[in-house]
Every structure is written in structure tokens, then in C-alpha cells.
Amino acid sequence: ATGTGKTRVCVSLLDVLMRTNWAQRVLFLVDRLALRDQALDAFKEHLPNAPVWPKRDGYYVEKEFATDRRVYVSTYPTMLNEIEDDDCKFSPHFFDIIVADESHRSIYNVYKNIFDYFDSIHLGLTATPTEQIDHNTFKLFNCEDQIPTFNYCYEEAVNNIPPYLSDFEVLKIRSKFMEEGISKRTMSPEDAKKLLAEGKDPDAINYEGSDLEKKVTNKGTNALIVREFMEECIKSPDGVLPGKTIFFAISKKHAYRLVETFDRLFPEYKGQIAEVLISGIKGVYGKGGLLDKFKTTDMPRIAVSVDMLDTGIDILEIVNLVFAKPVYSYTKFWQMIGRGTRVLDENKLKPWCLGKNKFLIIDMWENFEYFKETPKSREVTGQKPLPVRLFEARLDELSASMEANNIDIKNSVIQHLRDEIAELPQNSVIVLEAHSDLAPVIEESYWKFISEEKIDDLRRVIAPVMRAKSQGDFKSMRFEINVVDMATAHLRHELEKYETIRDAVIEQIDELPVSINIVRKEKEYIETVLQPSWWHRFTYNDLDELVTRLGPLMKYKGEVKPGEEKLDIRDEVAEKKQVEFGPEHERMTVKKYRDKVEAIIKEMVGSNFVLQKLQLGQEITEEEVEQLANILMSRDPWVTKELLQKVYDNKRAKFIQFIKHMLGQEQLKSFMEEVSEAFASFIAEHNTYSEQQIQFILTLQTFILRKGAFDKKDLVKEPFTKIDPDGIIGVFKPREIKEIMEFAKHLVA
């Protein structure tokens, strides 16, 4: 589990191995500079006499590799670049042991070359739950699947006496705009007038909650997040300022907006209380840097981070975590929680944190509900690298061209395949190991007579070698895969599959931001290919041109959002642990409110004839319903249909149905229960689905529970592209897609 002392145990083990001469030199691998500095600090503290690379002096960090040290701490990319360099300083026997920190990451597919190059003992460290680790990672460390050499879980650490890790509480908060989106319907009349005064048409504003900080930014929502945090957070001993806190933001722009909001709302602490901590900005790392100040000094209290602080950073005094973004990776989710689990060192207490028996997580995006539904299904392992998928897609296309007896397309596809093989990095360990397999396919004669047997061999032997292509424009590659798959479906006359992929390709093209100069140069071409007539008459060469001209532009698709609106309207809390009711705006927990209302109904049964009729199963008139509603509105707590819909999580039920439910005359299911039961039955009926297909169905369930609706185009976007980059079309056949669409649309109708 995160924070249980993996690094400390590892350093002790290395100390023993070095003192007994079992290990002369050690390589400790990390995936980020912040974790490198953290590991160097650990070696300095626990192995102070061991010569370590790199040396540090303030901001200065040694760049050139030395060969006279015993402990080497390096990032994976730095070491990979070194061993692939023709002038590599290290022989395969240089290190006696390699430690892979955070070994749950993409070690097998991306950095396995390091482990293949060095002939040494391998030790992997990870705080990731064992069921989430790719089986290839277990194999890399000579472990059986799901059976690590040693495992210590979070529950054991929390329940130990004294505890090794801190427990936490969760406060769920959702704003109205997060819940319902931003449109004229959801904003107040005053805000609509304000927008008109600013020259904006309220009728033209229509954004979903998930568009916040992506397609639209609203000062009011960020202000609500900051205000709610300052009200609810765990404070330092002075009871005024928050304790040390990490905000997990959606994007860099979002991070800066949140800090600006802190400065605007709390000007007395402007420039002090909150700082943006992201990789790539000057002055983050090193002694006296922003990260060091956050760890060791009173201010700043709040670090607003995008990815940098999500994993691996140890700050004992963290007492608040704010999930100001949705998270879709189960592994990353628990790594983020791990930033707060550290317990204090009683001998080194800081003035701003003199005690910590728990920490608080404020969840703005229902992340806990998301993982409660499918806690083991979000991290998809074993996914093929994009270069492998592209090569395999080309092989499918080659096979389809042969079936269609189209010689021109066949020859063009063969040339694409040969080009991809020629682009393989020759110094890669993967390529060198596959030398004998690659030798025949490099020859022109191999391609003169292509058969299905040869295609099968290429798929089985050559396609896996494509994972060596670790460089490239992967957004362009993903677009190319879609176009190739579409061409294959077209050649095979698979109309439904072709139309599904075609629509996804058109949508990607339509989302290109023509406000960027390099994209604007292709504006006329983009407008041409977006015409329906283009898709009725395109040729294979046209598709090649499409990939060549628009593929390189795909990297700009999510970078600058041309339609981003900047609003400044008041947002309000739509969901919290408490419910607000009555003319005095009283507040009470949802459970307590529900219990009080049910107690009132039971108390009134003896004296209210309408309730008595309902209890006897008799019909009542609309006038009697209205009379009962008026009585309940005058009671404490205030009771309305809207409040009942909220606390019972059922927006479809009528007022009288809630009353019957409380009297035991009618069983009301929440929307969550209805959807969950329907999906459970659907999965049971489709017992031939693969694990990936079940993961997709469970993700769709969570998506519907979150948003209450969906559209076909949603299924080729995140979070579904986390399961397969092509979304639903990469997981199911057209017939299956049609069945899933009909099933899901019925639920949200």
C-alpha cells in the first residue's frame, strides 16, 4: 500500500547486499524527476556514505553519467536513451541489481529494453493493488500472476496499532452546473441579463457538466469550489487557514484559474496561500523550489497540481485532497488517495500540523461512486501499442483487398507495410532480437507472392516487433487506424461497421480547431471532406491523402478549444452530504431529512384521512393529493416533491408515489437501482462477452448513472476510449453495437 515504507525497506535491503558484497552497483529507476529527488533524499538519509549519482548542490544536478558510484538513481527515459546510444557508458554487467520504483507503470511495453539489456537481479516496488498489475509485469519479475513476492495492503496498515497509514473521510460536493450543465434553463434570470449586457446570447449557451474546464470555463464554479473547500477543509491549529492540501485540477489552465480564484477571494493571502505545481515550469524542483517550499515551510498551504503530485510524492502533513477533476484509472485513483495517507513523525511535528488522525477528501466529480460500481474494471491492461495496432489494421486491409481482387489497393497497402518495417529503430533491443524474423520481410521478393499464410505470419511474428517504435505522432496514428479500419470495412461491404467508423472519423475532422494557423491552412480541404458528397465518391488514394494532410493536425484537436466560452456567473451547490430546505434555507444531512419525513408521515396516519385511504389501498383525488402536499409543506422539515426526488434519487416518481413508498404500499427503486439491475441482467444474458467487453458495458452503466443520458457519439470518446482507443467500435461488432444502443436508450428514455 502507498506510504507503508517500500523505499525504506528497499534501501535497507540494498545496504545488506552491498555490505555483504552481493551487489557492487545498484540502479534505482523512477519515472519522474520529483521521484528521483525523493529517492536521492532517502539514500542520503539511510545510506549517507554510499557514493550516489547524480550529485546535487542546490539547483545544480549532475548531468553526465559517472562510472565510479555505487548507487545510481535515474528516470526510465534517461536510462533508456543511454543504453540505446552508440556511446553507452554501461556494459550489460555494470549493475548487479535494478530496482523499478512504481513498477505498475508501462514497464513491459515501453521500458522492458532496460531490463533486457542489463544482466542483473530485478526488484519491483509498487503501491498498486495486485489485481491491477499487468501479468507481463509479474512475469518480468519472475512472479506468478497476481502473486507478488510480498504484499502489504492498505487495510492492514490503517488497522495496525499504532497505524502505519492514516484513514480518511470523504465529502461529496456537486455544483448545479456540474450536475445539470450550463444553459439558459440552469442559470438565474439575473445571470441571463448579465450575459446579454456582455453581448452574449443566453439561448446560444448550452454545455454539459462534463464540458467544464474543457469547452467552457466559469468563474462562478471555480469560486464555489474554493469557497466550499475553505469552509469544509481540515484547518491548521490556528483554525483559520487550511492544512496542507493538494488540489487535483483538470488542466494547467484550470490549475492557474483556481489559484487566481484563491487570490481573488482571499486577497489578504494573495500570492501566498496557493501555488500551481506542475512539471515544466521553472523553479519547481530542487532546494528552495516550489515543491520544497510546499513540503518544508508554512506557505503555500495549497498545491494545485496537474498530474505532477498525483503519484509518488511524500508529504506527511497533507490533510486535505480535493478531486477537482474526474479520474478514470483505478490505479491512479488510489495513487492520488495515497498522497494523504502518510502519518506524522511525532519527533518532527510542524507548527501547521501538530496532529493527524485522519485526512479529508473532497470529491467534486463523483469519483468514489464511479469506482464503487466497478472498482476492479477501470484499468485495462495488456492493450496493444498503437504501432502494433496500425500494422495489424494494415494486414486486415491487405487481406480485404485480396478478397476483393483489387490489385492497386493491395500494392499500396504492401508499400505501407514495408515502410513501417523500414522505420523500425535499428538499435532497439526488440528489433535486434527479431533480426532473423525481419531479414526475409525486408527483401522485395518476399512481397511478390502474398498469401493468407504469409499474412498470418506477419501478424504473429512481425506485428509485435512494432512496439519498438516508441517515438511518433500517436494522435495521428490513431486517426490513421480509424481510416484504415474504415477502408477495410468498405472493401468487405460491412455497411454498418463502415458507417459507424466513418461517422467517428468525420467527427474527429469536424473537431479540428481551425483557429490555429497550421490547421487553418487546411480549412478549405476540411470543409470539402466534411461534405456528404465526398464520402459517396472517395477513392483509396483520397483516403491516403486524408491521412497525410489531416493526421498530423490531430494533435491540435484537444490542445486549443476554439469554442471555449469564458463565463462569470454564479454557480451553486447541487449535491452535498446535506440537503437545504424551507424558506429559512435550513440544512440537514440527506439521511436525517429522510428519516424525519418518514417519521412525520407515520405520525400523521392516525389523524389524516388521505393517508388513511392510501394505507387501505384506496384511490384518492387530485384535490386530496394537493391538500396533503400543502399540509406537508407547512410541517418541519419542509416537504416538497423536488426535495423527495432528490433524497430518494428518483426524478421520475410523482409526489404521491413517495408517500405510498413511505407507507409501504409501493416499492420505489432509485434510478441507480433500476439501471444497475438492468445492466446486471444484460451482462448475465451475454455470458460470452470477453473481459474487455464487460468492462465496456460496466463503464456505460456508470456513464448513464452519472449523466442520466447518452448519445452514440459519446461511446467513441472518453472514458470509453480508455478501454479501446476506438471506443465501442473497437470492442463490439455492428450487430452488438445496435443491441447495446437499443438496450441503453430504453433505460434513459
The answer on 542 and 464 residing in a single domain is yes
491 — pLDDT class (breaks 50, 70, 90) = very high
Helix, strand or coil, per DSSP, at residue 171: strand
Of 597, 628, 662, which residue sits at a domain end?
662
Q: Which of 603, 631, 662 is the last residue of a domain?
A: 662
In a domain, 183, yes or no: yes
User: Could you tell me the three cell numbers for 419?
Assistant: 515502410
Residue 301 is part of a domain; what is its CATH number? 3.40.50.300
Q: What does the alpha-carbon distance between residue 580 and residue 584 come to, in Å, rounded to a whole number?
A: 9
Domain contains 562: no
CA 706 from chain centre, in angstroms, equals: 15
User: Which grid cell sits at 432?
Assistant: 535486434
| Same-domain check for residues 359 and 390 | no
87 and 127 housed in the same domain: yes
Q: Supply the pLDDT for residue 381.
A: 38
- The arithmetic mean of pLDDT across residues 442-461, rounded, is 93
- pLDDT, tens only, 51-102: 999 998 876 788 889 999 999 999 988 999 999 888 899 999 999 999 988 7
Total domain count for the chain?
5
728 assigned to some structural domain: yes
Does the global pTM surpass 0.85? Answer: no
Pairing mode, if any, of strands 174-175 and 167-172?
unpaired
In a domain, 570, yes or no: no
Looking at the fold, whether 514 and 406 belong to one and the same domain comes out as: yes
Which tens digits make up the pLDDT trace of 359-375?
999 999 888 887 763 33
Is residue 565 in some structural domain? no
One domain for residues 391 and 360: no
Verify that 456 and 327 share a domain, yes or no. Answer: no
How big is the chain by its Cα radius of gyration, in Å? Answer: 30
262 neighbors 302 (Cβ within 8 angstroms): yes
Does 452 reside within a domain?
yes
Q: Are 136 and 110 in contact (CB under 8 A)?
A: no
Kindly state the average pLDDT of the residues 559-566.
52
The residue among 580 and 454 whose pLDDT is bigger is 454
Same domain assignment for residues 41 and 120 = yes
228's enclosing H/E stretch is helix 219-232
Residue 241 lies in a domain: yes
What is the number of alpha carbons within 13 Å of residue 121 lying toward its C-beta?
Answer: 11
Q: Are residues 125 and 65 in the same domain?
A: yes
Note whether 617 and 690 are same-domain residues: no
DSSP assignments along 481-540, one per residue? HHHHHHHHHHHTT-HHHHHHHHHHHHHHHHTS-TTSHHHHTTHHHHHHHTSHHHHHH--H
Give 565's pLDDT tier (boundaries 50, 70, 90): low
Does residue 487 surpass a pLDDT of 90?
Answer: yes
Percentage above 90 pLDDT, the chain:
29
Range with the largest mean pLDDT of 383-392, 555-564, 680-689: 680-689
Tell me, yes or no, whether 229 and 357 share the same domain.
yes
The mean per-residue pLDDT over the stretch 157-185 comes to: 85
pLDDT of amino acid 312? 56
Dihedral over alpha carbons 301, 305, 310, 313 (to 10 degrees):
-50
Strand partners, 60: 57
Three-class SS of 525-580? HHHHHCCHHHHHHCCHHHHHHHHHHHHHHHHHCCCCCCCCEEECCCCCEEECCEEE
Listed in sequence order, the residues at least 6 apart from 11 whose beta carbon sits closer than 8 Å to its beta carbon are 42, 43, 46, 47
Give the domain extent around 129.
6-159
Task: Answer yes or no: is 277 within a domain.
Answer: yes
Whether residue 648 is found in the same domain as residue 713: no
**Whether residue 655 sits in one domain with residue 615:** yes
Looking at 110, 141, 159, the residue that finishes a domain is 159
